[in-house]
Structure 1
Amino acid sequence: MKKIFLLLITVSLMAACTNSKSTGGGLRHVVCFKFSDDATEDQVNGLIEAFEGLQNEIPQIKAFEWGLNNSPEGYDKGMTHIFLLTFEDEQARDEYLPHPAHVAFGEQHGGIIEDAVVVDYLIK
């Protein structure tokens, strides 16, 4: 569990170190989670509630949505919960990543995450 949390932090920090310019269309931050087998429904629901609540604490988050994976293609690698955050630009995303509320979220809920995929893209 700690390895996954450290992986998430490392990926987030690597993304924070990018320095390319935004196209002005905004930035999408896609987060996919696979939860550990011993994660309870209450724990998963608590993570979802806390993740959604970050938009009240971190003004850089322009929009937040989430849903359950329902792709029939079979390429999900066990990811069940998908989260989509929208930022104005890379700078806003880079301010979000080390934000104390985001870091605390990871520390509190990272233990139930077995695996994660995080990708960002500039909206065209």
Structure 2
Amino acid sequence: MKTSTLFTLLLASVLSLSFITTDMKKEEKKNVGTSIVKDSVLRHVVLFKFKEGTTPEKIKTVQDAFNALPSKIPEIISYEWGLNNSPEGLNKGFTHCYFLTFASEESRAIYLPHPDHKAFGATLSGILEDVLVVDYWTK
């Protein structure tokens, strides 16, 4: 009798632990979903279309100057860039994409008039045909 009671208690303990673990996993998934909203970030997307005939050296100067901004402006919390390689042909001449992340609108407000950002803008003089900028809060 004692053995079967002990076995029953042990089985009940294992089953209740299994339910607790399952509930904890459900709660972790809920928290992941809410942390995305809570930890939303501001994305700043910049697309460049260079004037026809712009030399590769001048474009490289722009790339190097933009790539240096994250080390000069601490409000940029994440940065990446790349060249268009879409096979769809819908880029309308925009070839360079820069993707910056800010923690807040205040951080972006510091970045926009920042002297290093303004100096970078000077590298575009005479070679930029068009620019497209889109900012959005991640969801």
Per the normalisation by structure 2, the TM-score is 0.69
Question: What is the SS of the residue equivalent to 2:130?
Answer: strand
Question: Which of 93, 97, 104 is matched with 1:89 structurally?
Answer: 104
Unaligned runs of 5+ in 2: 1-37
Q: By how many angstroms is 1:110 displaced?
A: 3.1
Query: What are the superposed Cα offsets for residues 75-119 of structure 1, whole Å, 9 maximum, x if unpaired?
Result: 211100111011111111111001011011102323211111000
Identify the structure with the greater strand proportion.
1
Q: Which has the higher contact order (CA 8 A, sep 6+)?
A: 1
Q: By how many angstroms is 1:24 displaced?
A: 4.3
Identify the structure with the greater helix proportion.
2
Corresponding position of 1:42: 57
Count of equivalent residues: 103
Q: Distance in 2 between matches of 1:72 and 1:121?
A: 25
Question: Which of 71, 79, 90 is matched with 2:86 structurally?
Answer: 71
- Give the letter aligned to residue 85 of structure 1: L
RMSD: 1.6
Question: What is the SS of the residue equivalent to 1:75?
Answer: coil
User: Which structure has the bigger radius of gyration?
Assistant: 2
Return structure 1 stretches of 4+ with deviation > 6 angstroms: none
Contact 1:24–1:89 (8 Å) recurs in 2: no
- Give the letter aligned to residue 124 of structure 2: H
Question: What is the SS of the residue equivalent to 2:87?
Answer: coil
Per the normalisation by structure 1, the TM-score is 0.77
Percent pairwise identity: 51
Question: What is the SS of the residue equivalent to 1:111?
Answer: coil
Unaligned runs of 5+ in 1: 1-22
